[in-house]
A and B are shown apart, each in its own frame.
Chain A
Amino acid sequence: MEYFLQQLINGLSLGAIYGLIAIGYTMVYGIIGMINFAHGEIYMIGAFVAMITYLAVGALGITWVPLALLLMLAASMMFTSVYGWTVERIAYRPLRSSPRLAPLISAIGMSIFLQNYVQLVQGARSKPLQPILPGNLTLLDGAVSVSYVRLATIVITLLLMYGFTMLISRTALGRAQRACEQDKTMAGLLGVNVDRVISLTFVLGAALAAVAGMMVMLIYGVIDFYIGFLAGVKAFTAAVLGGIGSLPGAMLGGVVIGLIEAFWAGYIGSEWKDVATFTILVLVLIFRPTGLLGRPEIEKV
């Protein structure tokens, strides 16, 4: 039972991270119908910016942990958003009316570029860090211990999700975003600046991915330039699993993938956890091709 609870919390925090990345995929797919392959790299950049901010904050002599964390969060969200915006502006916007494969190849190119760019400017060695938020919360008389970092991940993700849902459902921006998702041409005719909305979608997705990157850095304490690929693929899996285009679906998919991975690693062995993820993806797609929360696709001739 204790072991189960432990894995449950590990899985939830991991799932929260996948969910945060998956939202970026699902939003972009919903609005322009492309797989943003470079999104995993955006998450990796988020992790790097957070690490650099942490080092800079340390160099400046700020030792109060909450302030340091807040600065890291702000810096990584801001700078990573600029990356998200730039990627869209350079690599995707000119290709919006092109055949479907063109933006995908462009995205793969961008992903290769960003990965090697970070390797070039930050070095190829993995970056280990001292634990920033050490300590555990013990529950059930010490049988279950939850690190503060994992707890913080879950809490921050919940807060962000709440804020994000409000943003999408209540504000003018969210309305415009949903309008563009349904029909870009019509939204444009009604005075929505479609380009701006798409740019903002990328900015929002990048900001959430940056939070995920920072959390991963805090939890595992080591990052390298290659972490974006696998996390990106899994987050995309999560987005597809939840039903691509659906925001709650992305979060749900993320949590499901996180839980599967944690329990598989906990009970069966960590070597095969990636196989489990992909197998479940394949099974879900075969039996429920629109994902858990997706709307069925209508075939138009």
Chain B
Amino acid sequence: MTTISASTPAARPVDWPAILREAALTAFVALLLTVPLVGLRSVDQPTGLGLDTRFDQVAAVTLLVFLGRLGLGLIREGRALVVLVLSLLAAAAGFFIELPSEELRVLLIAGGAVLAIRAALTLVTNRSTLSQAERDKRMDRVAAKVQHASRWLAPIGILFAVAFPMMPFADRQLIDIGILLLTYIMLGWGLNIVVGLAGLLDLGYVAFYAVGAYSYALLAHYFGFSFWLCLPLAGLLAAFSGVLLGFPVLRLRGDYFAIVTLGFGEIIRIVLINWYDFTGGPNGISGIPRPTFFGIADFSRNGADGLPSFAEMFGLEFSTVHRIIFLYYLILVLALLVSLFTLRVRKLAIGRAWEALREDDIACASLGINRTNMKLAAFAIAAMFGGFAGSFFATRQGFISPESFTFIESAIILAIVVLGGMGSQLGVVVATFLVIGLPEFFRELEQYRMVAFGLGMVLIMLWRPRGLLAHRDPTILLHGRAKGTQTGSTQAAGGTAP
């Protein structure tokens, strides 16, 4: 008998008073949270602002929170099966029953689904909760496997990315999403150099993205430079601004550094808004020229600026998709360039110096690594890639304004790097698909997108604080540390030369 009761935790009597009290407390907090903001809605009336009451929603939210917390308590007490069935029923009910508002419906379905997943997981693993350490260890194992698999996963991914526009299902909209994803992957990889490798928390990466975009837009606007001339120039200017910014700032440590980079990001945006004569202010710059096919053909129907039309040149039937496919390949190449650079640089002295700096600043200084130069290099290189991405963004959109370079963009790029697992290239890709791709497919739920986005960021961090595919091993290890060869040890310490 003892064996049976030990193997089926459900045999334990449920501690109803404790669970109910906990659920009631949670529901009370939910009540306090929702009464002023959800229950009373301010509405515009002819005489000014008025109030609209929606206490039915408050009651419903409170009840849902109560039931949800009760469900969690029951799962913990070993009644997972009941909870699974009930929560699935609740989620199904959300689809069919009329509720006072759309929001409640989303809440019911999402809450039911989350609870059901939790219950199902408990049923499968036969454990109510894993401790943080255990969970970390398991996920680390998964991450290590994925990292190992990236040997063959990465080429397949790249092949797929190359073949993607040719696939039958790839329509214009999907390719557009692909371009968007690749832009963020490139930005993520770029920021990864600063955050993931050098361990500097940069909250203003979007500043360099803006510098790149505006460099191209302004050079094209005032001097009529072509995209292919501007792309390297934009990268150079962005790198230059990175050095300018970096010089005073890099002495700062940790959070101070973070807040100053945030400040710089805002400064650049405010300058763009206020320097009306030069940048067009809040109205931005429109009519930014589209890229040509390497300066030998144009993507318009009949060609422009003395260039023949692309379709004519290659004997194709004219289609507006050609330009989009070209843009797709352009950003793919740019992104892969960043990735390749990161992969290679990690094996050089400078890359190893970055990784060492991330782990221990002071140890690096005592090993004779010039910290400021190393950090400055990381900063400038990441800024350059940001600049490339920016000028690509400008040429793709044809229109830029300071609106596109708000702090939220920096936060999203940083979130991609951290959620993916700092330093992991594959992690950036996975996180981009989660953070950018997933919401893109739920465009209909426009108003819930950002709410879910914020909540998702919190949840992923709670679930996996070190990022999905955390990967912090040094790229190169000295094999046989005990009798490390002379060349090996000089390499390890000789990170001063950039």
Contacts and interface: CB of A to CB of B under 8 A. Distances in A.
Interface of A: 29, 35, 45, 48-49, 51-53, 55-56, 59, 75, 79, 82-83, 85-86, 90-91, 94-95, 97-106, 108-123, 125, 127-130, 229, 233, 236-237, 240, 244, 271-272, 274-275, 278-279, 281-282, 285-286, 289, 297, 299, 301
A130 B48 CA distance: 8
B455 interface: yes
Given A55-B50, A102-B465, A233-B266, A113 B458 contact: yes
Given A51-B42, A110-B458, A233-B262, A285 B37 contact: no
Q: Which 6 pairs across A and B sit closest by C-beta, in order of nearness?
A: A109-B457, A113-B454, A112-B454, A98-B465, A278-B263, A102-B465
Given A55-B51, A101-B201, A129-B49, 7 more contacts: A100-B254, A109-B415, A112-B454, A113-B455, A122-B41, A272-B274, A289-B253
Interface stretch (B160-168, B368-376, B445-453, B483-491): B445-453
Contacts of B285: none
A130 B40 CA distance: 19
Contacts of A119: 447
B466 interface: yes
A281 B448 contact: no
* Residue in B262, B407, B448, B454 with the greatest tally of chain A CB atoms within 10 Å: B454
A286 B251 contact: yes
Contact of B454 (A111, A236, A282): A111
* Residue in A112, A120, A279 with the greatest tally of chain B CB atoms within 10 Å: A112
Contact of A106 (B44, B132, B462): B462
Contact of B259 (A99, A100, A240): A240
* Residue in B132, B260, B419 with the greatest tally of chain A CB atoms within 10 Å: B260
B103 interface: yes
A183 B407 CA distance: 34
Nearest to A49: B36
Contacts of B273: 271
A79 B270 CA distance: 34
Interface in B16-75: 29, 32-33, 35-38, 40-44, 48-51
Contacts of B270: 271-272, 274-275
Nearest to B54: A121
A130 B33 CA distance: 26
Contacts, number: 186
Contacts of A97: 132
A108 B414 contact: yes
23 contacts: A29-B255, A35-B258, A49-B36, A52-B37, A52-B51, A55-B49, A98-B465, A101-B422, A103-B461, A109-B455, A113-B454, A113-B455, A116-B454, A118-B37, A119-B447, A120-B447, A122-B37, A122-B41, A123-B43, A127-B42, A127-B49, A275-B271, A289-B251
B42 A86 contact: no
Contacts of B462: 91, 94-95, 106
B32 A82 contact: yes
* Residue in A52, A85, A114, A119 with the greatest tally of chain B CB atoms within 10 Å: A52
B254 to A, nearest CB: 8
